[in-house]
Chains A and B, each alone.
Chain A
């Protein structure tokens, strides 16, 4: 018996989106609660599947088209340790962003479109994460991408439109490359199922063709994930969007449709080769270092945070790359597992603290009406909760114990040292220090720099729903440190790592052999 909750993770947000438009047309106060309810149910299901799912990963076959002779013919939704974790991130950060939006979006017009697009984006991301079929990944990728284009432009001012245009053009290039690669794969493998593709390619393939497909997919999803040579759209898009959307884009979207798919495809679909591992590690290290260097000079808080997203995603990509490199060489699989665990852990942590930081930035913008660090100062007195929560998030992102960022960075650095990548370990440590410097600047200029005369109006703390989601995320930043404890790590992070490392596990659960 297949678990009926799995397709509901896509169906419920979709239904929520369209019901919101219909009902919101007649009753304007309803949409926000409907979106909230949708996200609550989705979050509940994701966490239920994470906890109760445990070890028996489940595959859902749409329409009951069972595999014939071990060849998958239907559309598969795959729920395993890794996707369970990402689903939880999506729905949890989504829930808090909607809660935050209840007050924040009230100043914009046509609220119901906002919530409808929001639910649509969640449905798209859930679909990407669940899909076990590369063409469906593309379809859901487009659903989430197109709704995020519209959400970035939600303010319809000059900046927003410029940012969304840039985002759309680069997003379309990315989608084109992904589609192109899917076409090549279908031509070569005659199948679209990820597990099947692996089986077909493992029986022999042409080297140049294989490399072309890999490069196309890495470029396409790298553009979505904003790894460094492909990052041009991210600072504009993430800083122009309304703040809850920035939190979603930076905290969730680049992971779900970028990093997650890259990791999934390069571990579970392609054979791990050393050349690809070196390339991915280099890209990761490059984004880590260049992202943080670009962030130093920023005075617009949301741009600063956006550049830090690039840098922090670099950590995830780099540690996945280190894991790939060790697996390709076939030495010390336990260190590879540690590196990948560190990467996934950092991905979860980044969702919490970067989401929180963007919500803080939104709160500052909401009260003080500015995003420029030069014009702020002394906000710590008038906005104590925002100040305290952003301190927690800043300490997390800079890797100060006992916050979550410390533990994931520690695991990554330890794994790099154990795998004898001393240079990468040193680089990760240095980047962490520069991050700390950058966030000390943010804390000082925004909250502690004495009263500034430039802001005339009286500054008050933001409304309760916004405070509630910020406080929850700050607590989560602390609680996620617990994932480093062996017992909890084995329950949550290890299944995710196992599915990536064990070459046979992923395909065997789909073909049922």
Chain B
């Protein structure tokens, strides 16, 4: 694939950043507003997928990209697991315990560990959806060869 026309490329370049920021917003406000790690992660992956679709698969080295996204995915889920395990050592000593101070409800930095879970779940979901997309594209390229 060689990608699409200049118009599409330019528009995508302009939009992708905004979509990316919106995904981050959704993730960070996961404990306050609707949405959260999963929804925000899907939006983040959407920004990447849009770029790949517009610029074509030659532009990005897909296989290397896929390796990176797998790595991020595994790291993120490990961190989520370790956050859950951290409850065993800190605080009340309970798995999945929300041991950080909860703060004032409604503020951005509140709800203890929940924003951290949201952030890493967001990374995990973004990376895994990107991995699935890349795997399908790579498979198609291999079949075409």
Contacts and interface: CB of A to CB of B under 8 A. Distances in A.
Interface of A: 1-2, 4, 7, 11, 14-15, 18-19, 21-22, 25, 60-64
Interface in B93-120: 93-98
Given A4-B88, A11-B81, A14-B81, A22 B95 contact: no
Interface in B24-83: 67, 70-71, 74-75, 77-78, 81-82
Contacts of B94: 2, 61-64
Contact of A62 (B71, B74, B93, B95): B95
A21 B96 contact: no
Contacts of B137: none
A64 B97 contact: yes
Contact of B95 (A11, A19, A21, A25): A11
B88 A22 contact: no
B127 to A, nearest CB: 12
B84 A11 contact: yes
B93 A4 contact: yes
29 contacts: A4-B93, A4-B95, A7-B95, A11-B81, A11-B84, A11-B95, A15-B78, A15-B82, A18-B74, A18-B77, A18-B78, A19-B74, A19-B78, A21-B70, A22-B71, A22-B74, A22-B75, A25-B67, A62-B94, A62-B95, A62-B96, A63-B87, A63-B94, A63-B96, A63-B97, A63-B98, A64-B92, A64-B94, A64-B97
B85 interface: yes
Q: Which of B70, B92, B95 has the most chain A CB within a 10 Å cutoff?
A: B95
Given A4-B88, A25-B71, A63 B77 contact: no
Nearest to A116: B74
Contacts of B96: 7, 62-63
A21 B128 CA distance: 14
Contacts of B98: 63
Q: Which 3 A-B pairs have the closest CB atoms?
A: A7-B95, A63-B96, A64-B94
A60 B97 CA distance: 12
A117 B64 CA distance: 22
B84 to A, nearest CB: 7
Nearest to A10: B95
A150 B10 CA distance: 40
A28 to B, nearest CB: 14
Interface residues of B, number: 20
Contacts of B97: 63-64
B92 to A, nearest CB: 6
A22 B75 CA distance: 8
Given A21-B70, A21-B74, A25-B71, A63 B81 contact: no
A5 to B, nearest CB: 10
Nearest to A74: B96
Nearest to A61: B94
Contacts of B84: 11
A12 B74 CA distance: 15
Contacts of A63: 87, 94-98
A4 B71 CA distance: 29
Contacts of A22: 71, 74-75, 78
Nearest to B78: A18
A2 B95 CA distance: 10
Contacts of B70: 21
B104 to A, nearest CB: 21
Nearest to B87: A63
B34 to A, nearest CB: 21
A2 B88 CA distance: 11
A327 B145 CA distance: 65
B108 to A, nearest CB: 22
Given A21-B70, A63-B96, 7 more contacts: A4-B93, A7-B88, A11-B85, A18-B74, A25-B71, A62-B94, A62-B95
Contacts of B81: 11, 14-15, 18
A206 B81 CA distance: 42
A411 to B, nearest CB: 38
B65 to A, nearest CB: 15
A7 B97 CA distance: 12
Contacts of B93: 1, 4
Nearest to A63: B96
Q: Which of A1, A7, A22, A64 has the most chain B CB within a 10 Å cutoff?
A: A64
A434 to B, nearest CB: 46
Contacts of A19: 74, 78
Nearest to A60: B95
Nearest to A25: B71
A396 B58 CA distance: 60
Contacts of A14: 81
A15 B96 CA distance: 15
Contacts of B95: 4, 7, 11, 60, 62-63
A2 B97 CA distance: 13
Contacts of B88: 4, 7
Nearest to B76: A18
Contacts of A1: 93
A63 B97 CA distance: 4
A22 to B, nearest CB: 5
A88 to B, nearest CB: 21
Contacts of A4: 88, 93, 95
Nearest to B70: A21
A304 B92 CA distance: 52
Nearest to B82: A15
Contacts of B85: 11
